[in-house]
Amino acid sequence: MNIFHFMLQNRAEILELTGEHLWLVGVSILIAVIIGIPLGILITRWPALNKPILGSANIVQTIPSLALFGFLLPVPWIGDRAGRLAILALTLYALLPLIRNTYIGIKGVDPAILEAGRGMGMTARQLLWQVELPLSAGVIIAGVRVATVICVGLATIAAAIGAGGLGEYIFRGLAMVNNQVILAGAIPAAAMALVADVCLGWLEKRLTPH
Amino acid sequence: MNRYSGEPFAIEFRKVSYRLKNGRELLRDLDLEILPGETLVMLGRSGSGKTTTLRLINRLLEASEGEVLVEGKSVSNWDVIGLRRSIGYVIQDIGLFPHFTVERNIGLIPKIEGWPPARITSRIRELLELVGLDPEVAARYPRELSGGQRQRVGVARALAADPPILLMDEPFGALDPITRSELQRAFLALQQRLRKTVVFVTHDLREALLLGSRIALIDSGHLVAIHEPEQFTSSADPLVSSYVGAFEGVGPRAV
């Protein structure tokens, strides 16, 4: 039985696990975007917060993912449900690229443009929404893209704590010493990462001002 | 009060000093009165404090000491956004918004101010004509324009809400000599029609003599002298004559 045959046979379960995987990644990225972009904007306004915020996000990235899932298990409410825990962990990993790219994007806006805008009497809010964010949209989306690809990969490990997703097949295959089962989880996960990368790459290109 | 007409000065500096946080003084005890409708050129070398002076007017900088008055009212008593909207601002780097078309760039402040769309459209057309641009550039992006066209758009944008005062910081400094002289002529024609109060910063004596109704020489944060162009070149002040000497063979209103 070859791998495609195997995947075809188990398509219902693979589809279900893919759905779980998408849910884990999608919710995490959404939360990370909602938190990360404002934090990135915040540190362009208060440079004193720059080091503590980027530093903490950086430290989170250095924690091995399996260990992070483990650390969070005893946390009340979060630890009650594996899905919650996985989403929190993935969100934490996704924050750094989002905060950093938002910061870099806004800092990269030509100072002459901001000087002109301020001098014309635009308020800080008008400058942010009409100038700084549109001009840094490409860089911010690049951050979303990096975060998404990281999360698709990391979400496979969420299966270790019972959060489901395509990692289920990978861990099962590892336990069974069966490459076919491993691949049945790994191939859809890789495809998902690739599709996300291409789509967000296209969006990034469209939003980058020439 | 203005001793000539009884109206307030358009802009007035009273004993204004400006220091950086590290204590370096960029401007010291500046006293300067700018009359409504005149083109005051601030002339000086790089780092002399002329741009600082300009930025104190629209409160991009705040005076460390003294007071800056715009239309008789201290800038610290103005609502800063309202102050800036009544002052057009043109800088050397232009600062057009690259993601906006020419017409959105020009119409930005009118739009923020809530003008009806039809009035914005007709204002844009009027301004393009005023600065000598083809109406068809309205739909283009700044990157599709030449340097001279971009600077014309910069001027049109500064004039959009019809501010009584215009600040220009080396607006033609980055242009080639031919384009620069075209824009200088266009500026003169424009100023003849509009009679705005203009404060124009440059280091180029020829430009100062051509455009200014008065020329103020700034050096190391001090106002050295202020003269009409005809008197400027013949001034006995050593700093003025050394500045003039550096541009030998240049007479008033000569290009």
Residues 6+ apart with CB under 8 A from A28: A86, A87, A90, A91, A94, A151, A155
Q: What pLDDT was estimated at residue B5? A: 55
DSSP per residue, B167-234: EEESTTTTS-HHHHHHHHHHHHHHHHHH--EEEEEES-HHHHHHH-SEEEEEETTEEEEEE-HHHHTT
Closest by Cβ to A135, choosing from B89, B94, B99: B99
Q: Is B52 on the interface with A (CB under 8 A)?
A: no
Q: Which residues of B touch A139 (CB under 8 A)?
A: none
A107 vs A130: CA distance, rounded Å: 15
- In the sheet that holds B87-91, the strands lie side by side as B87-91, B165-169, B197-202, B39-43, B214-219, B222-227
Is the pLDDT score of B147 beyond 80? yes
What residues contact B146, with CB distance under 8 A and at least 6 apart? B179
Confidence of residue B253 (pLDDT cuts 50, 70, 90): low
Please write the tens of the pLDDT for every residue from A81-121.
888 899 999 999 999 999 999 999 999 999 999 999 999 99
- Contact flag B84-A117 (C-beta cutoff 8 Å): no
What is residue A1's predicted lDDT score, i.e. its pLDDT? 67
- Could you report the per-residue pLDDT of B213-225, keeping only the tens digit for each? 999 999 999 999 9
d(CA B205, CA B43): 7
CB atoms within 10 A of CB B220: 15
Mean pLDDT of A117-141: 96
A126 touches chain B (CB under 8 A): yes
Q: Of B97, B80, B58, B91, which is closest to residue A130 (Cα–Cα)?
A: B97
Mean pLDDT of A183-208: 94
Q: Do A112 and B167 touch (CB under 8 A)?
A: no
pLDDT at A209: 72
What pLDDT band is residue A210 in, cutting at 50, 70 and 90? low
Please say whether the dihedral angle defined by the alpha carbons of residues A23, A28, A30 and A31, taken in this order, is positive or negative.
Answer: positive
Residue B210 has pLDDT above 50, yes or no: yes
Residue B68's DSSP bridge partners are B13
Total residues belonging to chain A: 210
B248, pLDDT greater than 80: no
Average pLDDT (A72-89) is: 85
Decide if pLDDT at A187 tops 80. Answer: yes
Pick from A137, A140, A23: nearest CA to A90: A23
Residue B152: φ, ψ to 5°: -65, -40
Whether chain B has a CB inside 8 Å of the CB on A110: the answer is yes
- Quick one: chain A helix, strand, coil %, rounded to 5? 85, 0, 15
State ipTM. 0.86
Q: How confident is the model at residue B1 (pLDDT cuts 50, 70, 90)?
A: very low
Interface size between A and B, measured as CB pairs under 8 A: 62
Q: Pairing relation of β-strands B197-202 and B165-169?
A: parallel
Asked if B3 reaches chain A (Cβ–Cβ under 8 Å), the answer is no
Pairing of strands B39-43, B214-219: parallel
| Pairwise CB contact (< 8 Å): A210 & B81 | no
Whether the CB of A39 is below 8 Å from some CB of chain B: the reply is no
Mutation target among B51, B79, B80, B81 for the A interface, most CBs of A within 10 A: B81
A52 touches chain B (CB under 8 A): no
